[in-house]
Amino acid sequence: MRLIFLGPPGVGKGTQAARFSERHDIVHIATGDLLRTAISEKTEVGLKAKDFIEAGHLVPDEVIIQLMKDRLQASDVQSGYVLDGFPRTLAQGKALSDLLKQNGSSIDRVICFYLDEAILLERIVGRRTCPSCHSVYHLRYRKPETDGFCRCGTALIKRTDDTAETVTERVAVYNNETATLIAYYKGQGLLTEVNADRALDAVSEAVEQVFQESSI
């Protein structure tokens, strides 16, 4: 099973991908998490990505494509995965298709979440994340059991790119860059849109329904 969760920043795709991954015992790959880990470990990829992320811009395609080529070769993902935050441009989507073709496989379904920009902003500004296990919380909608701490015991942080100014830039980048990618998957009959303006469980149910109806 190879799935892509697409959508603007803050729509809830990471939260849904984590839930789906747990429910179906399938690997969740989030490029944002891979990049943030690379930054904290000061790897070559991390050094290349840092300034782009902080400005709310996309990291260049060649850096991301190489990162994902390496990740998708690992033994833990050979039976499938849910991709969250990748691909984000048409070039990335085509590179992924080529890579899969070489292995005789393909993407099974693309779920594209949508939500009004004002709600995206509210979700992002209230987001708190765990730098250790990458769990995601919200000050209002998904509070941690202990204020300020993840269930794994690590202190939660606010991402440096989760500010109102950066969000506006990131949403604009999404609208510009991802439109052609959405058209690409629509053209292949792979895309299903899901309204993310609902409580967490209701969105999860909608995702589950798409999955069941896709008979993957």
Tell me which residues are annotated as active site: 13, 88, 127, 159, 170
> Which of 181, 190, 152 has its CA nearest to residue 64?
181
3-state secondary structure of 161: coil
Residues that bind ligand ADP (CB under 6 A): 7, 9-15, 123, 126-127, 136-138, 141-142, 198-200, 203
Q: Which does 203 bind (CB under 5 to 8 A by kind): ligand AMP, ligand ADP, none?
A: ligand ADP
Residue 31 binds what, of ligand AMP, ligand ADP, none (CB under 5 to 8 Å, by partner type)?
ligand AMP
Angle at 137 between CA 131 and CA 141, to 5 degrees: 170
Residue pair 54/165 in contact by the 8 Å Cβ criterion: no
- Residue 51 C-beta: closest distance to ligand ADP, Å: 20
Of 109 and 123, the one with the shorter C-beta distance to ligand ADP is 123
Residue closer to ligand AMP, measured from CB, 162 or 190: 162
The listed partner (ligand ADP, ligand AMP, none) that binds 58, CB under 5 to 8 Å by sort, is ligand AMP
Which ranges constitute the DSSP H helices of 87-157?
90-102, 117-125
CA distance 132 to 37: 9
